Amino acid sequence: MVKIGEGIEVREELIKKTCNLAMEAHSSSPGKPYIYKKINGSTDVVFAFARTLSFDGWYSNTSFGETQINTNLFPSLRSVGTDEVAKVNEAFARRFQDILDKSSLKNEVEKAMLEGRQVVFAGHSSGGAIAILAALWCLECCRTRPNGDMLVHPYCMTFGSPLVGNKIWSHALRRENWARYFIHFVMKYDVVPRMMLAPLSSIQELLQAISPFINPKSQYYQHEAVARSSNALNFFMTVMRNASSVASYAACNLKGCTNLLLETVSNIVQLSPYRPFGTYIFCTGNRKLVVIENPDAVLQLLFYSSQLSSEAEAAVVVARSLNDHLLYKNEMQDSLEMQDVVHLNNLTDIPLSSNVDPRYEVASMNSALNDLCLSTRARLCLRAAGEWEKQKKKNEEKIEQNKRSIRDALSKIQEYQTKCDIRKVGYYDAFKIQNTDDDFNANVKRLELAGIWDEIIEMLKRYELPDSFEGRRDWIELGTQFRRQVEPLDIANYYRHLKNEDTGPYLIRARPKRYRFTQRWLEHFDKVQAGARSESCFWAEVEELRNRPFAQVQDRVLSLETAANGWIQSSLLGDDVFFPESTYTKWWRTLPTQHKQASWVSRKITP
């Protein structure tokens, strides 16, 4: 049996102490948003964040309280393929920013990291949401600072935390290989990890009515009357009804449902944008732990594991949905001592029946699924999540087979470029003129490569490849080579056919996604700002500038010359640009004498 600590690479004793500190943070000195504790006998240090009991600390004014994340603070939280920025709960993001700006957190974390300590961010309830943001901020700091890879990466442990962000979070964190640093414990019936699946308008009054139950300062703290009230029942049922809509819609997508009604319903019914990420550990309530990393499967478990088996048990389950939220400390002590752990790694092997012969290998898995009261439908949804993950890997294997074709085609284009250089005609200009069979053959290879890369980009757009694919260095390098060699040919073809006269500038109206993506891909990998790797667009800018009066585009001309100087020195732009009959040379010679005399280009081109 694999122990919980071995499976998630965190010691059991650290989990217990972290949970204790997460609960203690709520009773720390008034106004202090977190407690900071060094663990004796180890290099561990825990930052545990207190929850907020203020309604404004949970929701902002929009339906689900989400907003676009601050990309200055969290630059990695985006999809490179779709250029979509992640959404985050605005209230949680605002609170974290406030803590970062007004406390000593930044200095204390940096000091601990530089000392080589294992930093753990922790939180219970909404304190968990702040811990998530703090851990992500810390990971971003490691990513962008020199020798950041040498630092000990932080961990985040949450207990009964609400959901914080949309699907881009899971995608981005798996791409960066950060998802493994986020560990979330969830009690079987705890309603808080599910509540963000319901819109604010549907639960606002109910939430305010039952909040005294979890407020230690209230006379109704853990009061049974609150847990068994109609407000508690309506709150739970509203949350689960919305969770059902979200889980059902997600499951239909996992199963490849093409029913137009599905799209229609999603346009009519407002579905929560929030989705899980990281490793989830479900506490069954009888000292068993179920570990799962697949975010699609976690979403299904959040719904199906807290179902009512009959109306008769409604009062008991609703009371547990509130009580469970306060029992993590005891649960961690009991469950970690028992070490009855099931890892749901092979979701496609999940038995559909609750009755499995105990001699079978899946018996322990089935026992845990029974403890979570998972129906056959729930098990089918988990299987679908596993099948989708497998399909993504199959898609990746399929495009792996294209690598040789890509390299062979690029080699042919490199040969074409070499032949053009020998004739002192740049391959951009030769391709634009199209006078020889070599030009025709180069165009065939251009179209062949375009087809391969367009298919890859469409898969990325539809999230049909593993999230880690966007972080693969070998593909980033191959995509960059493709863009730098082939995009000039696309630009030449575009202006050869005078498409700019009907469609407009190439860069604004016609640049294919295969080049936009591969450029963003490299910029993200190199940790530079958008547009910093635009060397393959050189000829498109030249074509636009040469048809405009110098006085109107002087600043753009200077900017292009400055950029080109750097590209020449970095060997990203070749000397074929300065061949006597090149498009660039002919245009540059028409520029005003005063400009040419002051330009570094005059050392390359005789005025």
Burial category of 370 from C-beta neighbours within 10 Å (exposed 0-12, middle 13-18, buried 19 and up)? middle
> H helices of 103-229, where?
105-114, 126-144, 167-175, 192-195, 200-210, 224-227
Q: Give dist(CA 249, CA 253) in Å, integer.
A: 6
Contact assessment for residue 365 and residue 351, using Cβ atoms and an 8 Å cutoff:
yes
Active site residue 364: no
Q: Give dist(CA 11, CA 195) in Å, integer.
A: 30
Q: Give dist(CA 531, CA 525) in Å, integer.
A: 13
Q: Which of 325, 429, 536, 599 is catalytic?
A: 325
Q: Which of 76, 125, 161, 170 is catalytic?
A: 125
Listed residue (603, 525, 507, 515) closest to 564, CA to CA: 603
Q: Give dist(CA 145, CA 200) in Å, integer.
A: 39
Say how many Å lie between the first and final Cα of the chain, rounded. 78
Long-range CB pairs of 502-505 (<8 Å, 24+ gap) are 505/540, 505/544
Active site residue 325: yes
Burial category of 217 from C-beta neighbours within 10 Å (exposed 0-12, middle 13-18, buried 19 and up)? exposed
Amino acid present at 172: A
**What b/e sequence results for 292-313 when a residue is b if at least 16 CB atoms lie within 10 Å of its CB, and e otherwise?**
bbbbbbbbbbbbbbbbeeeeee
Q: Give dist(CA 394, CA 397) in Å, integer.
A: 5
CB atoms within 10 A of CB 189: 22
Q: Which of 44, 190, 439, 467 is catalytic?
A: 190
- 3 state DSSP class of 219: coil
Active site residue 306: no
| Region label for 532, one of left (φ > 0), alpha (ψ between -120 and 50) or beta (otherwise) | alpha
Burial category of 501 from C-beta neighbours within 10 Å (exposed 0-12, middle 13-18, buried 19 and up)? exposed
The tally of CA atoms less than 13 A away on the side-chain side of residue 485 is 25
Active site residues: 125, 190, 325
